[in-house]
Every structure is written in structure tokens, then in C-alpha cells.
Amino acid sequence: MDSQLVCSEVIAKSGIAFGTSGARGLVKDFTADVNAAFALAFVSAIENECTFDIVAIAIDNRPSSYAIAQACAEALKQHKLNVVYYGVIPTPALAYKAMQDNIPCIMVTGSHIPFDRNGLKFYRPDGEITKADEQAILNSKALFTSLPEPLAELTLDIAACESYTQRYTSLFSKDTLKGKKIGIYEHSSAGRDIYKVLFEQLGAEVICLGRSDEFVPIDTEAVSEEDKQRALDWSSKYRFDAIFSTDGDGDRPLIADERGNWLRGDILGLLCSQLLNIEAIATPVSCNTAIEKSASFKQVKRTKIGSPYVIAEFAKLAEQYTSVAGFEANGGYLLGSDVFFNGKLINSLPTRDALLPALILLAQPGHISEFLTKLPQRFTVSDRIKNFPRESSLEIIDALKKNAHSFLSELGYDESYELNLIDGLRIMLASGDVVHLRPSGNAPELRCYAECDTTERALLLVQNTLRIILSKRL
């Protein structure tokens, strides 16, 4: 008889850990047995609370993702569960279909993190796993047998793709986007084969751009200078009304206005929430304060960064308010309750989605830039130091907490301030300027956010902050 492996022991030795959204690690560490351990630990963690005999799986376009999915599927079959494989689709498409079918699912994706890494996102039948579920997965004593080679090929089912598309074609009319010219920056997004068809079904003229056979780690929260210039060039050439894109797994939107300027994700979330008449918002502490200053919502609850923290607030807010939603600085929009839009019901989808905020905004008459001018003029800029170990980030932040005054003096500030320690270190100055430092939960990076009354001032604040930190590290 083959020897039995313990899930928690295999996971503990893997070097793979949970971040702000799912388990992430180096591709080389996602061995077949590690993938099996995570898949079995997941179903074991929830099977006492949920009844199911099927688990859905989908992947992004990373070359390593299919093999990870194969291993997860093989392990689940060993556990006497059936598996439905939906292929390369956006994470919200998988989550939506699984929730409709009341089954759990696993998304194989590293989202926006570097090419040599990948990850796993887990969903219960009722939505994303909680932080408590994460601990249960890490502590699972479930047993499994080392997987055989070669692993079985997976049979593709297109039902999730169709269901996700239908969610939006049923909400909007066929001429919703008529007269609009939209560029779709496809790169290697998991949803790139969905978006063109959907936008055309809604009446738009679509031009596809930048499709890549190699995986491109697009970070919607820290858009590269190259992608900023691409959008400006494309808008100048094609005279677009907008450019639409997403991160690698299609749960974070990236939208440029008619001039080719990319919108910040939290600003897109704010606009979408206003247009949907949302009453109460849950959003991370890093998001723009224009949310409160707009006076558009009855309550705004600030959370730690990461969709599990946003989702955790929905139940509390739903006790007081009819319509509840959340969004992050990266643009991912989470619909925490059913809402009506133009007389039609939009079912809740409490996981990050790229399409809803994009389509709600694009469905409006006029230019996107016109909506921006009506918001409180607060501007956020963010950047990161790559290949910066989490331990180094925590040491830097701890030192700055203890001596924030000296740090601010180096930045040229001599005024009163407040510290917010919900997630990392957020310094709010009397002048209204804000600087926020935190280690990434998904990659070895130190992230820096700055908010000011002009983009130029915020950019300078980010640049100076990271310069000072790098000088201290050296």
C-alpha cells in the first residue's frame, strides 16, 4: 500500500503561503503533491459545513497553470469528488458559475505577480474563503497518496464562460455601447477571448490591442510607464472612447479615458458605486479619501487590504443597508448585495470583478473624463520596490512608526500628523497629504501609496519616500 501524506505537513514544507488573495509562491514549489495537498486541505476544511460532490477548476494563461490544475483534479478524484474544468477564464467567471451551482471551486492563478510565480484561489459554494478557512487549510490533517505520473488530461467545459457573458448581456441592451469605439488591451488576460465578443454584443466598435503569447504580469495598481505610454499612443491613433484591460486573471479592471489616461481602480469603484446608488461601502484603508469626501454613501467602512477583509464587512453592513458593495485600490469590484440597475436585477457577486464597474461606467453617455471632474480632486499615486523581502519591509515600517517625525522631516514636512496602523503605516498630514507603506501580501515587494491634491505632488511624494527607504537599506 502506498504511504499516506499529510496535507498540513506537505504545505508547511512547500514554501507557499497565503497572501492578500490566495496562496502564492514560486512555480518550482508547486509540485504535484503540493497542489494535491492544497486541493484536499481546502475541501476537507469546508466539507463539514457544505454539501457537495463536484468541484470546479479554472486557470489563467500562465504556462504552469494547466499542470497545477491537473494535479488538483487528480487529488480531488482520489477524494471521490467529481471535477468540472472550465479552462482559461476570468476568476469572477469561475466564482459566479460555482456560486450559481452551489459548489466550491479552485482558480489557478498568480494574478499580476511575476512570471516565475503562481497561485491558488479558493471559493466555498457561498463565495471566497475566509481567513479562518485559510488557517483550516494550513492545519488540515487530511491524508492523500502521492500522485501518479503522467496526470490525466482535463476535459474542457464552456458553461462558466457562457454564464458569465450572459450575466452582462442580460443586464444591458444590444445598443448600450452603440457609437462607442473601445480598445481592448488583451495581453495575456484570462478573459481576453470573452471581452471582444461581449463588447460587440453590446454595440461597441472594438479594436484588440497588445495580445501576447507570453504571460504579461499586469499590475492594475502600479501601471508601468510603458503601459501608460501605450494607452496614450493608442488613444491618439484610434480616437477611442475608452480602453479596457484587466490583470492576469481578469478580476481587476484597467480603464483609460478618451485621452488615454488610466483611471485609478478606487476612482473607478467610486464612480460605479455612485451610478449603482450603493448605500454602504467597504473598502481598504489604502483607497482614495474622495470616497468619503464625495458624501455619496451612508457609511464607508475602512478595512485591511485584501478582499477577505472587505467581504467580512458585508454581512454587518447588510444588517443596516439595502445595497452594499466594496472595491479596492486595484479596481476589483465586489457586489455584496443584489441591486437594481435600470430596472434590472444584478445578482450579488462578492468577489473581485473587472467587468461590472467597466460596463456600468461605459454605459453612461458622455466622456469618462467628465465624470472625473465632478469628483473631489484627490489624487493617488502608487509604486513599489520589487525584490524587497517582507522582513525588510516590516523592519523599515517598524522603524518609521517609532520615528515618523524624523522621516517626515526628510520628506520636507513640518506639520502635525496622525498614524493609521490598520495595514502597514499610513501617515495623514494636516495639509491633507497622505503617505502609506505596506509589504505586498502576494510578492516580495514594498508598496508605497501617496495621496495629494495634485497628481504631480503625489508622484513626487512616492518617489521621495522610496528614495529615502532605499538609501536607508543601502
pLDDT at 472 over 90: no
Q: Which domain holds residue 428?
A: 379-473
Residues 404 and 333 in one domain: no
Do 446 and 467 belong together in one domain? yes
CB atoms within 10 A of CB 340: 12
Q: Is the pLDDT of residue 413 over 60?
A: yes
Domain-embedded: residue 63: yes
Sheet containing 253-256: give its strands across: 205-209, 181-185, 242-246, 253-256
Mean pLDDT for 362-383 is 94
C-alpha span between 24 and 16 (Å, rounded)? 6
Q: What gap in Å lies between CA 376 and CA 454, rounded to an integer?
A: 11
The verdict on pTM exceeding 0.85 is yes
Q: What was the pLDDT predicted at 449?
A: 93
Does residue 184 fall inside a structural domain?
Answer: yes
- Residue 165 within any structural domain of the chain: no
For 333-347, 355-369, 378-392, which range has the lowest pLDDT when averaged over its residues?
A: 378-392
Label residue 221 by pLDDT band (50, 70, 90). confident
113 and 254 within one domain: no
Domain assignment present for residue 361? The answer is: yes
Look at residue 1 in the predicted model and tell me its pLDDT: 39
- With 70 as the cut, is the pLDDT of residue 447 above it? yes
Cβ atoms of residues 64 and 30 within 8 Å: yes
CATH of the domain at 409: 3.30.310.50
CB-CB contact of 190 with 127 (8 Å): no
Residue 251 has pLDDT above 50, yes or no: yes
Same domain, 61 and 148: yes
Domain C-terminal end among 132, 158, 184: 158
pLDDT, mean over the chain = 94
The reported pLDDT for the residue numbered 441 is: 75
The whole-angstrom separation of Cα 98 and Cα 133 is 18
pLDDT for the residue 222: 81
Same domain? For 339 and 393 the reply is no
**Interatomic CA distance for residues 319 and 189, integer angstroms:** 37
Quick one: how far is CA 432 from the chain centroid?
28
Residue finishing a domain among 158, 184, 219: 158
In a domain, 386, yes or no: yes
Residue 217 — pLDDT band, cuts 50, 70, 90? confident
- Looking at the domain assignment, is residue 163 inside a domain? no
Domain count across the chain: 3
Ranking 46-50, 164-168, 424-428, 443-447 by mean pLDDT, the lowest is 443-447
| Whole-number pLDDT of residue 2 | 61
Say which range, 43-52, 97-106, 442-451, has the weakest mean pLDDT. Answer: 442-451
Same domain, 383 and 332: no
406 is catalytic: no
Give the model's pLDDT for residue 219. 85
Same domain for 251 and 321:
yes
CB atoms within 10 A of CB 377: 12
- With residues binned 3-state (H G I as helix, E B as strand, rest as coil), the percentages for the chain, rounded to 5, are 35, 25, 40
270 and 291, same domain (yes or no): yes
- Pairing of β 205-209 and β 181-185: parallel
**Residue that is last in its domain, among 353, 373, 393:** 373
Residue in the structure block whose three cell numbers are 506639520: 415
Rounded Cα gap, residues 349 and 332, in angstroms? 11
Tell me: do 463 and 395 sit in the same domain: yes
Average pLDDT of the residues in 442-455: 90
Q: How confident is the model over 11-29, as a mean pLDDT?
A: 92
Q: pLDDT tens-digit profile of 55-65?
A: 999 999 999 99
CA distance linking residue 21 with residue 117, whole number of Å: 14
pLDDT tens readout for residues 104-157: 999 999 988 878 899 999 999 999 999 899 999 999 999 999 998 899 999 999
Please give the share of the chain, as a percent, with pLDDT higher than 90: 88
In the predicted model, what is the mean pLDDT of residues 442-467? 93
Neighbouring C-beta atoms of residue 1, cutoff 10 Å:
4
Mean pLDDT along residues 217-227: 88
CATH number at residue 99: 3.40.120.10
Residue 301 has pLDDT above 80, yes or no: yes
Residue 80 has pLDDT above 70, yes or no: yes
Which one is catalytic: 21, 44, 65, 111? 111
Q: Which amino acid is at 39?
A: A
Return the pLDDT at 473: 66
Q: Are residues 251 and 342 in the same domain?
A: yes
Does residue 53 sit in the same domain as residue 181?
no
Distance CA 287, CA 404 (A): 21
